[in-house]
Amino acid sequence: MNREYHKWYSTRLNREMELLLHGHAGAPILVFPTSMGKFFEYEDRGMVNSLGWELESGKLMLFCVDGIDKESWYCKWAHPSGRVTRHMQYEDYVVHEVLPLMRQRSGHSRVAVTGCSFGGYHCTNFALRHPDMVSHCVSMSGAYDIRQFLDGFYDENCYFNNPVDYLPNLSDPWYLEKYRHDVRWVFGAGEHDICLGANRHLSHIFQIKGIPHWFDFWGLGAVHDWPLWQLMAKKYFG
């Protein structure tokens, strides 16, 4: 299997950023890590192995980016406004630095996005904010409300990065058309998943807005952990 390590200095984040590319051809998938996770997490946790055939056969390419949650949402010493600003700088890094690499290597103009747990927030919020750049959004046991990181602070930037707040009020026909027709949405959660309620709530919002999506409920005692997400990845991308 083709495996490539990439590292460069991001002018948008003013720091070096790393990522791993797995695969040599096929549909490009942008992988966001879990809370405070690293770019090698998907590999270390067995997710890459679960998609071994798809990667070897040229069906998929995984672009596993590094996270900066410790500098944004989890940066307790920073004012909440600074946490949100840092997150938005991270989004700019993905849009202007990572996506061009993905397009150049894959030949696809739009990409799939995915993530587990808090990575589910990242991929979902990114897809909602940039539906013209995204073909599929696959969130595994995602959490979608960032107010818990804001210590009671809330401004416009917070609002427009909190899907459970801005999506119910969104009426822009351009976005809604993209959501309904151009992006395939998948939200998976387990029977005993700590984020089951969050996914049910988001699915309800999607239903009210008339956005087709797949809320995939995993029974048989499924919990919020990597063994479940390995099975999900195989099911959704296999």
> Which residue, among 185, 179, 208, has the nearest Cα to 120 in the 3D structure?
185
What is the predicted pLDDT for the residue at 185?
99
Distance CA 42, CA 197 (A): 25
pTM: 0.98
- Residue 187: closest CA among 234, 144, 129, 226: 144
Instruction: Please tell me the distance from the alpha carbon of residue 23 to that of residue 214, in angstroms, as a whole number.
Output: 27
The segments of the chain whose pLDDT lies below 50 read: none
Q: Which domains does the chain have, with CATH numbers?
A: 3-237 (3.40.50.1820)
pLDDT of residue 84: 98
pLDDT of res. 46? 98
CA distance 140 to 233: 8
What is the H or E stretch that residue 165 is in? helix 163-169
Reduced to 3 states (helix: H, G, I; strand: E, B; else coil), residue 161 is coil
Q: What is the pLDDT of residue 9?
A: 98
Average pLDDT, the chain: 98
Predicted pLDDT at 80? 98
> Which tens digit of pLDDT belongs to each residue from 67-113?
999 999 999 999 999 999 999 999 999 999 999 999 999 999 999 99
Helix then strand then coil, % of the chain, to nearest 5: 45, 25, 30
